Every structure is written in structure tokens, then in C-alpha cells.
Amino acid sequence: MVSFQETNNTSQTYPMQAAQRVHKWLKPVEGYYKAQWDATLSVGICKIGAGVIIRDHQGQVIGALRASRWLKGRPFDAEAHGLLLAALFCKEMGLMQVILKGDLKQVVDLLQKQVSNWSMGGLLIEDAQNLMNSCSQWSATHTYREANKVVHYLAKFALNLPEDVYDIEECPFGIQSIVNIEML
């Protein structure tokens, strides 16, 4: 596992790595939907906020979700719970071809490997895999925070919500400008 200090020192060790990062949102191929998720954890109140946005091959928002849950755990567990909510949302929307994108590489790697991990986060990821396997053709890839700004904003906003908020076939209030910038 990479420590916080090692992560922050990568520019000194690997100067070319930063230039290879993709900083913008990329459209999925026609027929597929891209479901991005993010989660934020408030350790002090044992609560997470999760954000999910689903877009089509033209980049149009077809659905968004903001949800909060009581959860005592680590950031890994929060992101895994966000993934589960994204998978459930895709199933509820009836999507059959989905590309899942998240910004915590540890979660995405475990999702891709489809191996057992008996931690809370590992079990949430396994539940998400089972949901996706039951309803669709899917893949998962890691994305950097710079290309995941919309759902990061939704997740932070969701922390204070008393109930889940779904937006179907419309862009949630307050993020249209971020969506537009990502489409450039």
C-alpha cells in the first residue's frame, strides 16, 4: 500500500507520470453508458455522501443520484458503498452496457479482479459485482479526480441530505457548468 507521503512525492520520483494523467471526461462508445461515482466520508459523524452520474455516448446526463448513509469505516469502505449505489442505480435504470468509473484505484482494482476480500468494503464491492453481472455487460476503469469532479461535488453535497435525491433525464441543479466544462 502506498503511503500518503509516497503519493505526494511521486512528482520527484516519476516526473513524466503527471503528464500522462487524463484530466478530462471522455465519452463512452455508442450504445454504452458511463456511470461515475464518488463518495466522501465524514469521520466525525460516521456518515458518507455518495454521488453518481450516468451519461450516454453523447455526454448527455441521463441520471444522477445523491445519497447519504450512516457508515463507520474507512475511505475505502465509503468508495465501495458508492460503487454499490452506482451499480444499483444502473440496474434500476435498466442499463445493459455500462462502464463504471471511480477515482479510488484500490476499489476499481478489486472490482476488476473479482476476488474475495472479506473486509466491509470488499463485501460491498462483491455485492456490486453480483448486481452488475445479473443485468448487464460492464467494465470498470479508474479515473483521476480531475475527470471525476461532477460526482465529487454531488458526493460532498449529499452528506447533508435527509433522503436520496434522483434526477432522471436532467442534470442536477448546480453542476451543469461543471458538466459543460468537462465536455469541452
Nearest alpha-carbon partner for 112 in 140, 72, 153: 140
Query: Which burial class, exposed, middle or buried, applies to 58 when counting CB atoms under 10 A from its CB (0-12, 13-18, 19+)?
Result: exposed
Residue 35 has pLDDT above 80, yes or no: yes
Q: What are 129-145's pLDDT values in tens digits?
A: 999 998 779 999 999 88
Q: What is the pTM of this model?
A: 0.85
Domains belonging to the chain, first-starting first, are 26-183 (3.30.420.10)
Q: What is the pLDDT of residue 138?
A: 95
Nearest alpha-carbon partner for 52 in 180, 166, 182: 166
